Structure 1
């Protein structure tokens, strides 16, 4: 799967891979960034796969397939022994976005379409390519209608934001919140009593959850956002970390510039924190984005 000039088939494959990955990200409600971190795939590479700008390496396809419990050919058509039409890939991709009861309706509809096709073939000896395309188009239209109905929200039932989340198919899980961490001037971690809150699922695997205080990490994190932190024994240049410096806790980007170590803000209105040799520091962990 090496690099080189892209063929028309390569470009077609990239579209299929892009559609498959976008469908999986939507179905599992996971961000590109989080998935890339979990699978140790460069975020820029995964972004190009999702946007259909490059072909993934075989090893990365395997990682993706293993994570979602699929075969490599379910994600990347280059691993399929039989070429599948783009229409079929599109049907499969959209179907994944449907809730279970609607997927069953799609299956029943497809079975009926197949029965009709076989009946037509028995009369005409075999169905033409145009006839097959018509059946696939009918399936696409049916699925699109189911997806539209699934995403339609009855406002009569919406009283609270939680109702809106539930209408969109979100489930809630308990999260233990351990207080706040500053995105600006520094606040203590752990001074507040831990509280259990409801948060839309799925919740990433983490060791500690904190609320952001301040706007110095916009546009990645806004004031009041929840962040999930994974404890680690190693950190890397460029990672977002939570650290206590001189008894004040921050969420910042860990950055090494020449001989200086800095904790930098993403909001240009804030100055970097330049760490001095005599400063005390306790790195809690890295932020899962």
Structure 2
């Protein structure tokens, strides 16, 4: 019986900082990482967990998101956004006085991040995957 060998790539995920695909998660100053594995190589600056269901069916709760650091570039891009000490994964739209943060899952209403709250786009989501469990 022929066995297929699949190369695995190590990813160090920020373990206590998750992108909220829901109502928001806290951001901490100290970051621990957890090593997980994927079967594809990705170009990214930081990896973190997706927590919640607002970006389903595309982005699943428990997946790892790859972020390439950068700011706003166009309406509707899926970004990691730091706002009011929370970190979100949302489709971002530039509005007159801030950003509209939209979910893919229509069960979740849009959020408005006022410019006065100083929301910051961390970067663009450039990939995502469910970690390989059995290695």
Bin for the TM-score computed over the shorter chain:
0.7 to 0.9
Q: Structure 2 residue aligned with 1:231, among 69, 85, 90?
A: 69
Instruction: Tell me: CA distance 1:261–1:223, structure 2 relative to 1, closer, same or farther (3 Å).
Output: same
Per-residue deviation, 1:287: 0.3
Matched with 2:130 is none
The answer to whether the 8 A contact 1:235-1:286 is kept is: no
CA contact (8 A) 1:176 1:194 kept: no
Cα 1:276–1:259 change in 2 (3 A) is closer
Specify which structure has the higher proportion of helix: 1
Gaps of 5+ in 1: 1-148, 151-166
Output the aligned Cα RMSD: 2.4
Q: Output one character per residue of 1:63-106: Cα deviation in whole Å (capped at 9) or x when no partner.
A: xxxxxxxxxxxxxxxxxxxxxxxxxxxxxxxxxxxxxxxxxxxx
The higher-RCO structure (CA 8 Å, 6+ apart) is 2
**2:37 & 2:20 partners in 1: Cα distance?**
21
Give 1:235 shift: 2.2
1:265–1:271: 8 Å Cα contact kept in structure 2?
yes
Please give the TM-score of this superposition, normalised by the length of structure 1.
Answer: 0.39
Q: How does 1:1-289 map to 2 (within 5 A)?
A: 169-178=5-14, 179-190=17-28, 193-256=31-94, 261-289=99-127
Unmatched 5+ stretches in structure 2 = 128-135
| Cα offsets for 1:137-165 (capped at 9, x unmatched) | xxxxxxxxxxxx87xxxxxxxxxxxxxxx
Larger Rg: 1
1:259 is displaced (CA, Å) by 7.3
User: How many pairs were matched up?
Assistant: 125
Q: After the TM superposition, which of the residue ranges 186-195 and 175-184 deviates more from structure 2?
A: 186-195
